[in-house]
Every structure is written in C-alpha cells, then in structure tokens.
Structure 1
C-alpha cells in the first residue's frame, strides 16, 4: 500500500507554496491583521488562480473534484504562510454541504460560483458540532424563516451567503443581505482567520433538503481534517 503523496498532490503543494510566497509576504499579513480586514483581496485572487476554491467542487460544476487530503495539503500551505484569506468555510465546508445536502437547483446555482471564487460562503455550524453556548442557537420556523444567534461563524466578514444549521440539525442557505440578518466580528487568537456572529430575526432562509444530524457530524469531522 502506497502512503506517499502522489505526483499531482506534490505539484499542488509546490504550486500553492510558490504562489503564496509571491502574494503573501509577512508584511502583508501583518498589515491585514492590524487593519482588522476580513480578507486580503490579492491573496484571495491568487488562491482563485491556482484553483483552491475549486478543490472539492465536482468537475461537473466547474471544480477540480479532488479529495479532503488535497484540501488538507492546501490548508497546510495556507497555515505555513499565515494567509489572510477565506478557506475552511468557503472552499471546504460549503461545497461539501451543498454536494451532500443541497438540491440540484442549489448545486447548479452555487457550486460553480464557489469554484470560480465568485462568492464567499460563511458557515455557521458551531452550535450543532461543538454544542450550544449561552444565548446561541438558531430556530427554524414553519414560515421558512430563522430566529436566534450563531457564534464562531467561519468566513463571516466577507461572506455573500451563509450555510446555517438550526437546532434540529437542518441546514439552510441565507443570503448575506437578507432582511433581518445582522452580523458582527468576534475576536480570536488568529487575526488572519476572523470569526463572526450572526443574529436572525425572521430571516428568510432556503433549506438544504437532504441535511440531517449525520450530515452535520460528517461536516464537523471533515472540517477538522482540513
């Protein structure tokens, strides 16, 4: 049994390393962190050029159709360079959630945009994966809206759309400009990976029809792997 990286995986690592060495010097990282920016657009543009947002999107939707190991290799290089850019929410958890739990229409609409880096996806699943904190938790209402709060939201600051879990294990798509949705920043140790909080007041949401608690458990484990 072969445990070494494949030639393609080594090429992915090398290409991403060289790109980040050019686009992500330490002085840029320090500047982004000092300015409390949600992301650095130049770094994000570089990641899009080398295909990072497309890693886990199936080829049928314009992605590369690669594996979690490939995403983990990308995460290693991003960590090596302390890259101030979306990744775990946008390039890993959101594509996986849409692949597994989204409808055909949702996949057709969002997966090509994610693969191309045309949108940022925030992911709010911390309460379902790690347990609810005081004052946090989102309720799904019968009228298709959400109420409540979500903490430790990944890729929240620059997000165009959110994947949100409710207390029953359902997943929902919520546009960042939805009426009744407010968001704020949360301080964390890593200033290059800004977290956020979301507050919902009768916010219109679009459920992912195939989501359940098993989906959330897998998403949480896969997020840790990447």
Structure 2
C-alpha cells in the first residue's frame, strides 16, 4: 500500500477521496493549497492534484514536483478541456480524471498507476537488500535479518519500509514523520522518529552477523545503509 497525497481546495472532496483510499489500505495525506502540497510531497508515493488551487496554479505545482521528485501524479479537476488535458500530460501527469467523478474508479486508477510505476521486484512484494542480509515483505509486513524473523511495531515497520523505498537516500526526521504518520507539525512526532530508529536498530542488530542497516547522517537524518539486490 502507498502514501497518497490528495490536493484539493474543497474539503468535501479531500475527505471523500481520502476515506475511499484509506478503505483500500493506503495512508492518506491531505492538502488544500499548492504550498501545502509541495511541503507534503516529500513524504508521498503518489499525488492526486486538483488544478484549481487558491494560491497557485495546479500545473505549476505539478511542474515543480516533477523537477524534484519521481512521483506519479493523477490530475483531478473540473477543467476537462482538451487544452488542460494536453498541458497536464505534457508535464508528465500519469492520468487525468475530470469532475464529477466516481471515487471508486479513482481508487482503481490509483492502483493502476502505482502498479505501472512500481519497480520490478520478487513476487509477493518481498524485497531483498545487502545481498540478502535484510528482507522486507510489505504485503505480509514481515522482516527478516540474516535469515532471522524480526518482530516490529507498526511504526517501526513503516519507518523501515520508508527508508527501504529509496536505499541510500537521506530522509530528514520531518520527511519520515510525514511519510509514516502524515504529521505536518514538528515537535513530538519528529522527536519520536529518533526513538523509533533506536528501537529499530536494536532489533535489526540482534541477529548474528547483521551489520548496522539504519545509518545516521549527521545534521540531516537517516538512510538505509545497504543497496537493494537486483
């Protein structure tokens, strides 16, 4: 399941789409403006973007996201004209849904876009890292280190899965807090990331011969220290 950012200035639409996505198992982030969308985009796997935002053009938001992130974008808007469709698709939008729309169909389109954009991997959603030292199965929410199963809390698993989504990429505490909990405020939630990392390291380092997998980048945040196995 993915972290989906829903960007729309209409509260009813945001919460309607969000509730359908959550029912389908996704984690949902909500934004009512372009500025909020850009802030939250660092923690998302896919963006559903309305073009009619109050502070800036939706196409400008899509353009800026495309310049900085490799993230699928589904445009959701009342502007269903051919010119708007062409402009959105030229920016690299992965799909275009006009209002009024079916929430169920939109969720199906999200699933289709995520399937198309997902990297190739072993069947069943399992990923292997560091020549088999670490194995993560997102569908079963299971982790093995050096062949040993490791029990984790929901937050610990979500944190590890976020780091493993882009091995070697440095994640700030704020980005991780947004990704695993959808929190926009700093403070306690960001500080909790340090506690989750501490617990995660203790569990990952328990099995014999397991190297430290979660690395600290001083002054920035954390990263997964082993590459994904091809």
Q: TM-score range by the shorter chain?
A: under 0.3
- What TM-score results when the alignment is normalised by the length of structure 2? 0.22
Structure of higher CA gyration radius: 2
Q: Which has the higher contact order (CA 8 A, sep 6+)?
A: 1
- What TM-score results when the alignment is normalised by the length of structure 1? 0.22
